[in-house]
Amino acid sequence: MDLKGFFSNHIKPILFSWRRVGVSVLVVAGLVGIFLLAGFGYVKAYEGKVLPGIFIGDISIGGMDKEELGNFIRQMNTKLLDEGIFVSFQSDGQKKEFTINPVTVGDQTAEELITLDVDKEISYLLQYGRGGGWFDTVVNTVLTRVRQPHLTLQTVQIQKNYILDQIRGSLEGYIVEPVDSNIRIKTLAPLTYEVTSSTPGNTFDYEQVLSTVKRSWSELTSPQVAITSYTKNPTIVESDVQGMSNRLQAVFTPGRLDILFTDPYTTREYTWFVSPEEMASWIEVERVSDGSLVFGLNYERTVAFLKKDISDVVNVEAEDAKFNVASNGKVVEFQGSRPGVTVDLEKTYADINQAFIGRTLHDEGVVKAITLTTMQVEPNIKTGEVNDLGISEVLGFGHSKFRGSPGNRIKNIRHAAFDKLNGLLIKPGQEFSLIQALQPFTVEDGYLPELVIKGDRIVPELGGGLCQVGTTMFRAAMNSGLVITERRNHSLVVPYYNDLSNGNPGTDATIYEPHPDFRFLNDTGKHILITSEFNTQTSDLYFYFWGTNDGRKGYYSAPQVSRWIPAGEPRMIETTELPVGKKECQEVHMGAEASFTYTRELASGEKIQKVFESYYRPLPQICLVGVEKVAETTCPEGQECPTTEIPSDTPIGEQGFDPNVDLWGSNPPAEAGTSTVN
């Protein structure tokens, strides 16, 4: 074999070919290296800046850093707001042009056209093209230079209602919306109504106008909107409404619709309701998604009700916690953290309307209550973060009303609620005594007297009103699931203390130094903090118990009266303590036997129930009449004369005094040197 020839003819060409491949690879590798090196330098040059070649609309923003980009977006947004939205309208040879601008009052903007989140826009634009690893970033950096992407702002929100209202106002007479046939209720009992007429209209494409405005603003160009009107027929006509009128009575038969809300801060429960009369004034015919017709509620009127009656109560700003304990161990500054709460008007309306629509569709399973939907913003500092005592949340609250109380009674309640109890800490394992917490019962300590009838005399007694405190504390302790170690009811039925759920007596607690007392045990394993809320405008007294919830729940049933006891005949008693002929009386009090069940559900699942039974004695009307001399009473020989003594807990009811002043339960008459403390 000719080896030299074989090498020349076969091996040498192969080696030459591989040599060329190797050279090519080296060249490519060198080019890639140069590319990557250049790309790396390019990336470094644009670090913290918008990549080259990027536009917003037709405006180049490549190379801008965070500060430059923010200034640019804000300046452009201000420019667009100053220029406003230019609108042109043409129909049947008529032409009208106008500009929509923001509304300003003084130096404040009352109505904006557009809002955007500048910080989010900056983040989006600075991060564009930088996703993935380092190599991807290098490639994207080069590609954006070549492709020159035209981006749009991402957070532009247009004020739809304001813009459309401005257009409608400027085109009044040119634009007339079609009117659907509807129902108008005249009376509910008996149900009478009329079907309103439908009419065609002359309108324009709202969504197209709004999308044009948003697209232009997102590209940082002044919106130029051309409006063309067209005839639009009503979607609901008289025959449609007549055909569904047989369901009209059914939508009012279930009665009112309740709206429920639990305050996330205080755990207080609220109930509002939409009455049948309000439904009748809000009702309108609607076409739902499947094309069928139903009776619904007008959006504007329903939302106006939510804003007026509910939002002012519910809406609050988020608040951070505060906690400061004085040297005497009392909390002198406390603010529990609370979330910011705002009524979600859109969602709540939708829920109300859907519940009402259900009345058209069926008779069974009608929704009679909906839960208010809210939006929440969490506080920066939570209650549990500002103390190490376990004060982190509301365990429960008590509520009573003192409407009709005289001035000194109100002052006594306030003194006890704020000066004595607000900020008080109860240690783990401590048995709380209300009398000990409120002592001493003296004028020097801040308590004021109230007038009562004792025997045949009218005398002042200190501390009238404190049983309002005892009753409210009793309810707070039960709602917190605590062990009640001492409680006694009043001897008479007093309206101040009737339960707010049904107006019956039974959930009251009287106190009188030294006994009866109101006591409970703090068995939560953590401290309990008492806070007070006292509102003279609404006559509301609240106590809140703060601590650490160990999983327990406490609640009590509405008190039930098993027997009412007649008061008996009125009694008149002569006295020289009053001017001749003057009469002062206390009110009649029927007696009662009442009871309710207090339930504690422990974290272990154990349920502990206790029935509280209360007896209230009857009391007829008793009057003192002023005379010059009290007539002597003679009794038949061998018979006991009827007593004329008036119980010491008998309040004055006339001559400008409140008829329902405090009573002292089944306590003995006050002796000299003791203090009446209810």
Q: What is the pLDDT of residues 167-193, one digit of tens each?
A: 988 988 888 889 999 999 999 999 999
- pLDDT-derived band at 456, boundaries 50, 70, 90: very low
Residue 200 has pLDDT above 70, yes or no: yes
Q: What is the pLDDT of residue 465?
A: 83
**Rounded average pLDDT over 485-511:** 93
Residue 452 confidence (pLDDT): 57
Cβ neighbors of 35 (< 8 A, separation 6 or more) are none
The token pair at 376 is 């929440």
How do residues 585-640 score in pLDDT, each as one tens digit?
877 889 999 999 999 999 999 999 999 999 999 988 888 899 988 776 666 666 65
pLDDT tier for residue 674 given thresholds of 50, 70 and 90: very low
Beta sheet of 85-91, edge-to-edge order: 94-100, 85-91, 224-227
pLDDT classification of 655: cutoffs 50, 70, 90: very low
Task: With a cut of 60, say whether residue 51 has pLDDT above it.
Answer: yes
For residues 26-31, average pLDDT: 59
Bond preceding residue 440 cis, omega within 30 of 0: yes
Contact 533, 455 (CB under 8 A): no
Beta strands in 106-227 (DSSP E): 108-111, 114-115, 150-151, 157-158, 183-188, 191-195, 201-203, 224-227
Confidence category of residue 221, pLDDT binned at 50, 70, 90: very high
Q: What is the pTM of this model?
A: 0.61
Q: What is the mean pLDDT of residues 208-221?
A: 93
Q: 74-78, 129-133, 182-186, 606-610: which has the minimum mean pLDDT?
A: 129-133
Helices (H) and strands (E) in the chain — how many of each? 16, 40
139 vs 497: CA distance, rounded Å: 78
* Residue 55 DSSP SS3: strand
What is the pLDDT at residue 309?
92
Give the least confident one: 138-147, 155-164, 568-577, 600-609: 138-147
Task: For 272-308, write each residue's pLDDT tens digit.
Answer: 999 999 999 999 999 998 889 999 999 999 999 999 9
228: left (phi over 0), alpha (psi -120 to 50) or beta: beta
Sequence-distant (6+) residues with CB within 8 A of 404 are 496, 539, 658, 660
Which pLDDT value is given to residue 648? 43
CB 163 within 8 A of CB 228: no
| pLDDT score recorded for residue 410 | 92
Q: How confident is the model at residue 69 (pLDDT cuts 50, 70, 90)?
A: very high
Q: Does 163 score more than 60 pLDDT?
A: yes
> Cα separations (Å) of 159 from 31, 119, 172, 213?
54, 20, 20, 10
pLDDT at residue 666 in the model: 30
Domains of the chain: 55-232 (no CATH), 243-383 (3.10.20), 390-651 (no CATH)
Give Cα 658 distance to the centre of its chain: 35
pLDDT value for 545: 97
Q: What is the rounded CA–CA span in Å between residue 167 and residue 88? A: 10
> Quick check: 469 pLDDT over 90?
yes
Eight-state DSSP code of residue 143: H
Average pLDDT over residues 385-409: 90
Determine the pLDDT at residue 628: 87
Mean pLDDT score, 345-366 = 93
Instruction: Work out the average pLDDT over 140-162.
Output: 86
More confident residue, 155 or 458: 155
Mean pLDDT over each residue of the chain, to the nearest integer: 84
Q: Quote the percentage of the chain above a pLDDT of 70.
A: 83
Residue 34 has pLDDT above 90, yes or no: no
Q: Which residue has the tokens 């008459």?
A: 669
Do 538 and 405 meet the contact criterion of CB atoms below 8 Å apart? no
pLDDT value of residue 132:
65
Identify the pLDDT of residue 664: 32
